[in-house]
């Protein structure tokens, strides 16, 4: 598997608060188990029965995480796996990992307070045959028309809604420590720039009791030809 770093315009436009991002592309067709040793990433027990595609995605994601940590000056540290397959980061670090079929990305930052959170998602555009089913699951009518009025098409609106809420879920999981549905966060505003922008999410009353530091969260996004990237950083 060939892993190659990607320097993304998205990173330079959105990072702050000491954040570091590392992104790469990879080729599943060239994957072999020996590459865990080559890239110095431990082969986790959860991968024993996994197909090569899943192993390659895990390797690429953890490689990105280790490279991002290196940029923070953290050496010889492996990112563990939690009970719900969530990454376990070193003490005083928060981070997030995402991948699609040939891209992986990791973002990390120092944990400046107990409420420091971060989440990242990279998502290929949802196929037309899946759009309507996904729409019902991800966003309500109010959210849909808010995004459409901002000039997005249906594919962009639904994929962005999904990715933004995934980034928020990954960020909030550190504190909430349990799964919750897409309906627990509602898109209330969108601000666009040339290639992206940011959304605002308002959270449900039940989440407010678990995330007492704020009721509104900002998610930055960046559009590419094949995918959207989102980051929730607070």
pTM of the model: 0.92
Provide the residue range defining the domain that includes 191. Answer: 124-228
Please check if 135 is assigned to a binding site.
no
pLDDT above 60 for 170: yes
Q: What is the CATH number for 70?
A: 3.90.470.20
What contacts 51, CB < 8 A, 6 or more positions away?
none
Average per-residue pLDDT for the chain: 90
Is residue 234 a part of any domain in this protein?
no
Please check if 46 is assigned to a binding site.
no
Please check if 166 is assigned to a binding site.
yes
Please check if 85 is assigned to a binding site.
no
Q: Which residues of 51-74 are buried (b: 16+ CB within 10 A; e: fewer)?
A: eeeebbbbbbbbbbbbbbbeebeb
Q: Within this chain, do residues 115 and 23 fall inside the same structural domain, yes or no?
A: yes
Query: How long, in residues, is the chain?
Result: 234
Is residue 198 a part of any domain in this protein?
yes
Please check if 178 is assigned to a binding site.
no
Please check if 124 is assigned to a binding site.
no
pLDDT above 60 for 13: no
pLDDT tens for residues 54-109?
Answer: 999 999 999 999 999 999 999 888 898 988 888 999 999 999 999 999 999 999 99
Percentage of residues of the chain with pLDDT beyond 70: 93
């Amino acid at each position: 598997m060939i892993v190659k770093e990607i320097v993304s315009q998205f990173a330079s436009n959105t990072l702050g608060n000491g954040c570091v991002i590392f992104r790469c592309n990879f080729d599943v067709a060239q994957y072999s188990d020996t590459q865990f040793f080559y890239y110095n990433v431990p082969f986790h027990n959860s991968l024993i029965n996994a197909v090569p595609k899943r192993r390659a995605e895990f390797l690429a994601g953890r490689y990105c995480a280790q490279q991002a940590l290196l940029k923070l000056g953290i050496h010889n540290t492996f990112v563990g796996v939690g009970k719900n397959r969530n990454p376990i980061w070193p003490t005083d670090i928060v981070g997030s990992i995402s991948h699609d079929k040939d891209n992986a990305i990791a973002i990390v930052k120092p944990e400046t307070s107990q409420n420091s959170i971060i989440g990242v998602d990279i998502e290929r555009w949802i196929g037309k045959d899946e759009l309507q089913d996904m729409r019902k699951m991800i966003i309500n009518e109010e959210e849909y028309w808010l995004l459409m009025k901002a000039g997005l098409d249906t594919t962009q609106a639904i994929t962005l809604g999904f990715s933004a809420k995934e980034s928020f879920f990954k960020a909030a999981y550190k504190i909430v420590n349990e799964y919750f549905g897409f309906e627990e966060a509602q898109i209330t505003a969108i601000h666009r720039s040339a290639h992206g922008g940011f959304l605002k999410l308002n959270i449900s009353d039940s989440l407010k009791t678990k995330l007492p530091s704020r009721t509104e969260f900002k998610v930055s996004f960046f559009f590419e030809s094949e995918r959207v990237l989102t980051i929730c950083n607070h």
